[in-house]
Amino acid sequence: MTAVLGIDYGGTRTKLLLARRAGEEWEVVRQDSVATASGSVVAIVDEVRSFVGADPVAAFGITVPGVLDEATGTVVRSTNLPWLDATRPADDVRAAFPTLGPGVAVQDGSAAALAEATLGAGHGHRDVFVVTLGTGVAGAHLIDGGIRAGAHGAAGEIGHVATGGVLRCSCGGVGCLETFIGGRNLGMRWDAVVGTGGPSGAREVVEAADAGDGRAAAMLDEATGMLAQGLLGLVATVDPGVIVLGGGVAQAHERIVAPTVAKVAAGATFHAVPPILPARLGAWAGAWGAVLRSGGLDGP
Ligand SMILES: [Zn+2]
């Protein structure tokens, strides 16, 4: 059976995944991770061409970091890869590599959330809310495999619910949940505590807590408490069937996921608390999302 290709075009690494349908499941033909080719679609196509080789590809998906007009496939703005602005990456790749089959561009966070909900921790659930704890905090609500984007395409931004904190958020607001549990903010808070030049991230805080630093443990305790409050609000308003916690910060299971689950359970009153599960696909979620969105699902 013909395979479909997922291209997860990231700020530092590009992940390439060739997969084919095997009954209800997908199977990996092969996968590879390379340094992101910078500056031109020709460079992307060179990587893709050597990866695909002679294998026929029925369709492909390519993720884009940034804001994407999914109706036209045009990049509105990519902070990390500004050369993509106003381009149509899927069309450009296809034009340079016509035998690849038709392609579609997908916003990277949407792709990862779709993959986690469909193939990862949300597999088997119809109603999934994916919270991504990365540099910032994002969320996506998926029902029957489709993202519920909201009336204005702005739903899911759980990172920007107010907590009563005082730090300025990347969105311009003050005290958003992201200012406690986002990786960049955790690192900035830690740098302010220890007085080193930084920049640190969540990893440094977790490592310090694991090494016995009470200041780091207290910072993470406060962060997971805020996250639990945010999730209780989510459960109260949305009542999802399962909540998936993904992103780099959530890889610290014992310091982030486990205490958050315990605090949600302790704080629940009338809430129908669903399972709160760690993401399963890790760094390959975006590439899997590109495979799923490629259109190859119903293809030859
Ligand atoms: Zn915010």
Domain co-membership, 84 together with 184: no
Protein residues placing their CB within 5 Å of the ion ligand 1:
160, 169, 171, 173, 176
pLDDT at residue 211, rounded to an integer:
97
Domain co-membership, 11 together with 45: yes
Q: Give the DSSP H/E element, type plus range, for residue 27.
A: strand 25-35
Tell how far the Cα of 112 is from the centroid of ligand 1, in angstroms: 21
Tell how far the Cα of 136 is from the centroid of ligand 1, in angstroms: 9
Tell how far the Cα of 266 is from the centroid of ligand 1, in angstroms: 26
Domain interval for residue 150: 124-280
Tell how far the Cα of 110 is from the centroid of ligand 1, in angstroms: 19
Q: Does residue 170 fall inside a structural domain?
A: yes
Domain co-membership, 276 together with 287: no
Q: Does residue 139 fall inside a structural domain?
A: yes
Count how many domains the chain has: 2
Tell how far the Cα of 155 is from the centroid of ligand 1, in angstroms: 14
CA 90, CA 216: separation in Å to the nearest integer?
A: 44
pLDDT at residue 285, rounded to an integer:
94
Q: Does residue 198 fall inside a structural domain?
A: yes
Domain co-membership, 129 together with 255: yes
Q: Does residue 89 fall inside a structural domain?
A: yes
Tell how far the Cα of 199 is from the centroid of ligand 1, in angstroms: 20
Please give the chain's pLDDT, 300 residues, in tens.
689 999 999 878 899 999 998 888 889 999 999 988 778 899 999 999 999 998 899 999 999 888 888 889 999 988 778 899 999 999 999 999 999 999 999 998 899 999 999 999 999 999 999 999 988 898 999 999 999 988 888 889 999 999 999 999 988 999 999 999 999 999 999 999 998 777 899 999 999 999 999 999 999 999 999 999 999 999 999 999 999 999 989 999 999 999 999 999 999 999 999 999 999 999 899 999 999 999 765 543
Domain co-membership, 133 together with 170: yes
Q: Does residue 249 fall inside a structural domain?
A: yes
Domain co-membership, 58 together with 147: no
Q: Give the DSSP H/E element, type plus range, for residue 106.
A: strand 103-107
Tell how far the Cα of 184 is from the centroid of ligand 1, in angstroms: 13
Domain co-membership, 222 together with 133: yes
pLDDT at residue 171, rounded to an integer:
87
pLDDT at residue 54, rounded to an integer:
87
Tell how far the Cα of 131 is from the centroid of ligand 1, in angstroms: 15
Q: Does residue 159 fall inside a structural domain?
A: yes
Angle between helical axes of 214-238 and 258-267 (0-180°, round to 10): 50
pTM listed for this prediction? 0.88
CA 6, CA 9: separation in Å to the nearest integer?
A: 9
Q: What is the CATH number of the domain that holds 188?
A: 3.30.420.40
Q: Does residue 119 fall inside a structural domain?
A: no
Tell how far the Cα of 26 is from the centroid of ligand 1, in angstroms: 37
53: left (phi over 0), alpha (psi -120 to 50) or beta: left
3-state secondary structure of 34: strand
